[in-house]
Amino acid sequence: MALLEINNLSIAVASQGQLLPVVTDCSFSVAAHETLGVVGESGCGKSLTALAIMGLLEGSQVNITSGSIVFDGRDLLQLRPAQRRAIMGNQMAMVFQEPMTSLNPVYRIGEQITEVLQQHRKITHRESRQRALELLDLVKIPHPQDRIDSYPHQLSGGQRQRVMIAIAMACEPALLIADEPTTALDVTVQKEVLDLMLDLQTRTGTSIILISHDLGVIAETCDEVAVMYRGRIIEKATTASLFANMAHPYTRGLLASIPTIDTDNDWLQAIPGRVPGIDEKVNGCPFHPRCAHTETPCTQTAPRLIDTHPHHAVRCHFAGEI
């Protein structure tokens, strides 16, 4: 059984008395010790899906309208708030996109790490500080002994993201959700942080959901990939199959838009147009206004997710043909 199973999850945002769908009928699963990559442009619903799994949509304008999130055999959406909180930061943890603002500026980083330990473990102050030092060492912060009493503003972006990872890994979660963990970092630091997460994964066996808009990152790190567009999964496959049998025009567009130095292109390849706003209605296939292969059926009926290969599903009328 998979560690996490998302079944037909739909999310909508309440706006001026109506519910606008932002994630529609989304299903995927994450096996224990595996890494799932979720790819897509900004505004495609990846972050909202992550926040929904984590339980951070409570109290916002965004609501889960249907579906289930089964984690370790329990449907998280049926749990009482206290039961849900017992999982958050404990069996399931999250690293966010913005390391510069994700730590509280008024507390020392040691305090921010021990806080989560003291929330979920019966542990003395001394022990939790000792554990915080180990964690800082684990995420390769140099001289943890000196750094533990620093304030966030005294650390660089990369170091802050390492501290965020230390907080997330403090209780050795079964699932780590990383929402664009390297996007806000310098390119040189990006690889280090990514390697660190993979290293921690091999040590602790945690599953990872890695959200990114960078197919290159996904190719290097993930076992399976889900590509999202406008709140729907439009292609889902093992990483090997995705790159071998890439079928959806959108996925291909994403791959083509990664600049390479070996081809002699003057122009950066881009997918034409933009992701339509959530209040704009698109009939038929949601991608058809931007697709180079649009034909009559695309503008009329929305395609279903169909298996083209083993462990490879595509939501396109012409999957396998184009």
Partner 1 sequence: MLGYTLKRLLTLIPTLLVASILIFLFVHLIPGDPASILLGDSATPEEIASLSAHMGLDRPLWQQYLVWFKNVLHGDFGQSIFFKTPVLEVIADGAETSICLALMTMFWIVLIGIPVGIVSASFHGSWVDQITSGGAMLLASIPTFWLGLYLILIFSVGLGWFPSSGFPSISDEGGLSNLRYLILPSLTLAAPNAALIVRLVRASMLDVSREDHVRTARAKGLHPARVSIKHVFRNALIAVAAAFGFTFAALVSEAVVTETVFSLPGIGRLVVQSILRRDYPVIQGVILLIVLLYLVINLLVDLAYARLDPRVSLQ
- Enumerate binding residues for partner 1 (CB under 8 A): 54, 56, 85-90, 93-94, 96, 98, 101-106, 115-116, 119-120, 151, 153, 164, 167
Instruction: Tell me if residue 192 falls in helix, strand or coil.
Output: helix
Taking the least distance from each CB to partner 1, the nearer of 12 and 88 is 88
Token pair in block for residue 104: 């509280």
Closest separation in Å from C-beta 92 to partner 1: 9
Taking the least distance from each CB to partner 1, the nearer of 55 and 286 is 55
Count other Cβ atoms within 10 Å, centred on residue 224. 22
Taking the least distance from each CB to partner 1, the nearer of 54 and 70 is 54
Closest separation in Å from C-beta 66 to partner 1: 24
Taking the least distance from each CB to partner 1, the nearer of 93 and 254 is 93
- CA dist., res. 157 & res. 155, Å (int): 7
Taking the least distance from each CB to partner 1, the nearer of 105 and 277 is 105
> Is residue 201 within a helix (H) or strand (E), and if so which, with residue range?
helix 187-204
Angle at 13 between CA 12 and CA 17, to 5 degrees: 110
- CA dist., res. 110 & res. 91, Å (int): 21
Count other Cβ atoms within 10 Å, centred on residue 45. 25
Closest separation in Å from C-beta 119 to partner 1: 6
CB within 8 A of 285, min separation 6: which ones? 291, 294, 298, 299, 301, 302, 303, 315, 316, 317
Q: Are 260 and 248 contacting, i.e. CB atoms less than 8 angstroms apart?
A: no
Closest separation in Å from C-beta 263 to partner 1: 38
Taking the least distance from each CB to partner 1, the nearer of 83 and 299 is 83
Closest separation in Å from C-beta 186 to partner 1: 19
Closest separation in Å from C-beta 160 to partner 1: 11
> Is residue 125 within a helix (H) or strand (E), and if so which, with residue range?
helix 125-138
